[in-house]
């Protein structure tokens, strides 16, 4: 292994010899006085990647060191197998090192997490202090994953990171905050609870605030909580917004109170999927939906799959249906306890089950290696969610397959999704006779699933039951609590 000068975070800033990082000149010039409106209009443009720059118009290979990243962080990247920065990393890191607010847009699975984590860790090395950075994410699973990425990238520099998630013990989290972490990763509802209730916890000296899946965080549901959180943060700070899909609504971007932001867009169109993804649909009669679905699962038998459904109950029913037919399925939705949710995800990650059946709580950000296929059992309600769902496969340059089941009732939304993608997808080729071979077995499994669902619903809320007992409570309804904001995205 090459010998590198390693730097560690010292809590005594004077103990670290300050060395100004010489970041290479960015290819995107800041230009005169960028305003939020400029960023907004730029963000909605279809743009070419700005990495094309050598004589042949090919991307010049760059290393993390070339981008201005220090040795200890380069070594952490190396250990994680990051040989070269991805496009969004190449574009965003030099600008972030120059102390700019950034709106970063790049396809799903393109390495956005390291694009914001590395500059933050580097700034932390320069000026070490507790509660240096805050990262907000819309779902608990995503927040947990981001904290893991920070810990992995900060493994050689003594990074302390705290994770604040809804659904888990506040006291344990307050203890973690008492240890003065450098980075806090949180879901919005729980962070606000701590800001309001945990004695001695303050983000007054925060230097960086990141909103991952920013368009979701800034939308109507989360927006009001975000506004409250921002009142606890200092105005003098850097703000990074990252997502694969970005809202171009001025109001929602203004919510993030960016200062002269620069937009880094490495997507070639507004809603784009990666080129390694094969996407098909099946147009089928609603009455045979389960039979077609089981046929598809059989076609992809042995592969790792995520199946998206619209509701908690449908997620649970589909998982039972699959298990009854001998397939290793596990449900993930906001009707489960938080420990059951994290348990389901780790079983799926570890390969103990090869089919994850999920609501949109799993649509954004989750980075599970080697997901071969995403099936939209129910179509998503909007095209943005489609992009995020299918982005759970074909990540980091790998190939993947997305299949959407479209019935006669889904034509309008499907037309809208295709229009947003700017392309007509091809239909998945099948022989109807081969599908109908499954009909009798599926009908038997449906009867079994109906009975099991009845028992689960009757037991809801009882001790040891699978489903939580918050029947009928809506987001924001009295008693549901803001902590539940991130409990269920579907």
Ligand X SMILES: Nc1ncnc2c1ncn2[C@@H]1O[C@H](COP(=O)(O)OP(=O)(O)OP(=O)(O)O)[C@@H](O)[C@H]1O
Binding site for ligand X (CB under 6 A): 82, 84-86, 89, 106, 108-114, 244, 365, 367, 391, 395-396
Q: Which is nearer to ligand X, 398 or 441 (CB)?
A: 398
Structure tokens at 173: 């989290």
Angle at 464 between CA 463 and CA 465, to 5 degrees: 95
Residue (370 or 408) nearer to ligand X, CB: 370
Pick 74 or 296: Cβ nearer ligand X: 74
CB of 315 to ligand X, least distance (A): 20
Q: How far is the CB of 115 from ligand X (least distance, A)?
A: 7
CB of 294 to ligand X, least distance (A): 28
What's the CA gap between 112 and 87, in Å, rounded? 9
Of 364, 120, 116, 345, the closest CA to residue 219 belongs to 364
DSSP 60-92: PP--TTTTT--HHHHHHHHHTT--S--HHHHHH
Alpha-carbon distance 327 to 332, whole Å?
16
Q: How far is the CB of 99 from ligand X (least distance, A)?
A: 22
Report the alpha-carbon distance of residue 486 to residue 26 in Å, rounded: 36
Taking the complex as a whole, the smallest distance from the CB of residue 359 to ligand X amounts, in Å, to 17
Count how many Cα atoms sit within 13 Å of the Cα of residue 149 in the half-sphere of its side chain: 23
Look at the alpha carbons of 212, 218, 219, 220 in this order and tell me if their dihedral is positive or negative: positive
Give the helix ranges, DSSP H, for 362-438: 383-390, 411-421, 432-436
∠ CA 210-212-218, nearest 5°, is 90
Contacts of residue 336, Cβ cutoff 8 Å, sequence gap at least 6: 344, 466, 467, 468
Q: How far is the CB of 484 from ligand X (least distance, A)?
A: 23
**CB closer to ligand X, 214 vs 307:** 214
Q: Which is nearer to ligand X, 131 or 146 (CB)?
A: 146
Using the minimum distance from each CB to ligand X, give the nearer residue, 111 or 167: 111
| 3 state SS of 421 | helix
CB of residue 77 to ligand X, shortest distance in Å: 7
Residue recorded with tokens 């397939």: 327
Cα-to-chain-centroid distance, residue 285? 33
List the beta strands (DSSP E) in 193-328. 208-212, 238-243, 262-265, 277-283, 305-308
Q: How far apart are CA 337 and CA 348, in angstroms?
A: 17
Q: Which two tokens stand for residue 338?
A: 């938080």
Residue whose CB is less far from ligand X, 61 or 476: 61
Q: Pick the closer one to ligand X by CB: 254 or 269.
A: 269
Q: Which is nearer to ligand X, 143 or 294 (CB)?
A: 143
E strands, 29-159, in order: 102-105, 133-136
Q: Are 290 and 442 in contact (CB under 8 A)?
A: yes
Q: How far is the CB of 468 from ligand X (least distance, A)?
A: 27
Query: Residue 210 CB, nearest distance to ligand X (Å)?
Result: 11
CB of 270 to ligand X, least distance (A): 15
Instruction: State which residue, 186 or 406, has the beta carbon closest to ligand X.
Output: 186
């Amino acid at each position: 292994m090459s010998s590198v000068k390693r730097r560690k975070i010292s809590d005594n800033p004077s103990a670290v010899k300050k060395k100004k990082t010489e970041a290479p000149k960015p290819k995107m010039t800041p230009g005169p006085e960028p305003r939020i409106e400029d960023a907004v209009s730029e963000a909605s443009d279809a743009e070419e990647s700005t990495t094309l720059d050598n004589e042949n118009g090919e991307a010049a290979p760059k290393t993390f060191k070339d981008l201005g990243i220090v040795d200890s962080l380069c070594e952490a990247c190396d250990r994680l197998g990051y040989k070269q920065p991805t496009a969004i990393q190449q574009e965003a890191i030099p600008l972030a090192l120059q102390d700019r607010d950034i709106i970063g847009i790049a396809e799903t699975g393109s390495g956005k997490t390291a694009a914001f984590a590395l500059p933050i860790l580097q700034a932390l090395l320069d000026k070490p202090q507790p509660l240096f950075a805050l990262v907000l994410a819309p779902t608990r699973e995503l927040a947990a994953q981001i904290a893991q990425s920070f810990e992995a990238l900060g493994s050689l520099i003594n990074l302390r990171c705290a994770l604040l998630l809804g659904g888990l013990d506040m006291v344990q989290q307050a203890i973690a905050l008492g240890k003065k972490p450098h980075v806090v990763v949180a879901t919005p509802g729980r962070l606000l609870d701590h800001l309001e209730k945990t004695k001695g916890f303050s983000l007054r000296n925060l230097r960086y605030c990141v909103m991952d899946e920013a368009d979701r965080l800034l939308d109507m549901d989360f927006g009001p909580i975000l506004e409250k959180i921002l009142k606890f943060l200092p105005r003098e700070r850097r703000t990074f917004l990252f997502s694969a899909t970005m809202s171009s609504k001025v109001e929602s971007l203004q919510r993030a109170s960016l200062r002269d932001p620069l937009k880094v867009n490495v997507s070639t169109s507004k809603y784009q999927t990666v080129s390694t993804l094969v996407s098909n649909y099946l147009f089928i009669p609603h009455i045979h939906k389960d039979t077609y679905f089981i046929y598809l699962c059989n076609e992809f038998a042995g592969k790792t799959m995520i199946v998206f459904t619209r509701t908690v109950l449908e997620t649970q029913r589909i998982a039972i249906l699959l298990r009854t037919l001998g397939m290793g399925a596990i449900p993930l939705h906001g009707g489960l306890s938080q420990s059951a949710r994290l348990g389901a995800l780790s079983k799926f990650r570890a390969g103990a089950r090869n089919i994850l059946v999920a609501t949109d709580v799993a649509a954004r950000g989750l980075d599970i290696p080697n997901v071969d296929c995403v099936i939209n059992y129910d179509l998503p309600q909007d095209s943005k969610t489609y992009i995020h769902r299918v982005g759970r496969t074909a990540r980091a340059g790998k190939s993947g397959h997305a299949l959407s089941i479209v019935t006669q009732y889904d034509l309008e939304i499907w037309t809208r999704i295709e229009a947003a993608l700017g392309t007509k997808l091809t239909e998945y080729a099948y022989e109807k006779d081969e599908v109908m071979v499954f009909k009798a077995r599926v009908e038997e499994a449906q009867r079994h699933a109906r009975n099991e669902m009845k028992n689960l619903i009757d037991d809801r809320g009882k001790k040891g039951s699978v489903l939580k007992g918050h029947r009928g409570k809506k987001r924001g309804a009295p008693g549901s609590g803001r902590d539940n904001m991130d409990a269920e995205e579907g």
